[in-house]
Amino acid sequence: MNCQLTIDKEPFSFQIEGDFFWGIDQVLFNPSSSVIMNTSWKKDGYALFDLLTVEEFNRIQENISSLLKSIALEIGIDLPDHFSPEKYHLYFNTQELHNQVIQKTRFLTFKDFKIDFQQLCTRVSDFIKYPLQLENPLLDEEIVILRISRPKSLDINPLHRDGYLDIWANVLNLWIPLAGCDENSSLPVFPESHLLNETKVYRSETKGARINGLGYHVPGIVDVKGGLDLIRPNPAYRQALLFTPFLIHGAAINQNENKTRLSLELRFCKKGI
């Protein structure tokens, strides 16, 4: 079916395959136990936060460049020494090559980065006034996803709430821009959508939605009564977009002509669950 939405008031649509249904009468977000319950932005569901020092940001960028260089080597692509991740699409220039990359970048872990994630977790905990931890007891290891979205492509995931999956119901989501992130490519979110009753949400089951032949783990949302109106908060480099896992987000269409967008997605967990 066709998913129709607006991003910063501009209409978009894309095809999404799956079986979809309206939800039952419940609001999944719990305002008295959510990790954002002590924030001034609990109604919006998201906020921007100055997360990284210049040094940390540079180190993550070096990590990503060397990761892409080693993947390129494995799959037989010759990258120049001055390779800039924004130019990714010029080298990984077929769907097959791109698929090979995302198989390897979808499931990174904290250990793949030379960063003290515990320090980042403490900073975020202090900001939201709620104790968080790196370890998610429902997972062997929490994953860090490197999202790579080529210009004018359908390298997007469906709109979704991470919180539909029990493993991510008690986390705080972080979306960190790395390269090619701007008002044309940044992650869209649907403000206040964590407060929406499920009867207003038309969605698939887990693993039930496909875009461009690619399946996604989380249930995909294709419609909401009243319309799917998203905005791009567009965090600056070194900032993170923080949001409750029940906020509807995704469909991060990259409208730039010649810039690949790279971003990191990670989650910190409610302490002591």
Q: Would you tell me which residues interact with Fe ion (CB under 5 A)?
A: 162
Sign of CA dihedral 57, 263, 202, 190: positive
Minimum CB separation of residue 81 from Fe ion in Å reads 34
Query: Which is nearer to Fe ion, 155 or 162 (by Cβ)?
Result: 162
Minimum CB separation of residue 73 from Fe ion in Å reads 30
User: What span, in angstroms and rounded, lies between the C-alpha atoms of 230 and 90?
Assistant: 30
Query: Which is nearer to Fe ion, 162 or 223 (by Cβ)?
Result: 162
**Sequence-separated (6 or more) residues with CB below 8 Å from residue 165:** 206, 217, 218
Query: Which is nearer to Fe ion, 86 or 162 (by Cβ)?
Result: 162
User: What span, in angstroms and rounded, lies between the C-alpha atoms of 168 and 46?
Assistant: 16
User: What span, in angstroms and rounded, lies between the C-alpha atoms of 33 and 249?
Assistant: 21
Query: Which is nearer to Fe ion, 85 or 219 (by Cβ)?
Result: 219
Query: Which is nearer to Fe ion, 98 or 267 (by Cβ)?
Result: 267
Query: Which is nearer to Fe ion, 120 or 187 (by Cβ)?
Result: 187
Query: Which is nearer to Fe ion, 130 or 164 (by Cβ)?
Result: 164
Q: Which one, of 214, 124, 136, lies nearest residue 175 by Cα?
A: 124
Minimum CB separation of residue 168 from Fe ion in Å reads 8
Minimum CB separation of residue 77 from Fe ion in Å reads 29
Query: By beta-carbon distance, which residue lies closest to Fe ion?
Result: 162
Minimum CB separation of residue 209 from Fe ion in Å reads 13
Minimum CB separation of residue 249 from Fe ion in Å reads 6
The answer to whether 10 touches 103, Cβ cutoff 8 Å, is: no
Minimum CB separation of residue 160 from Fe ion in Å reads 6
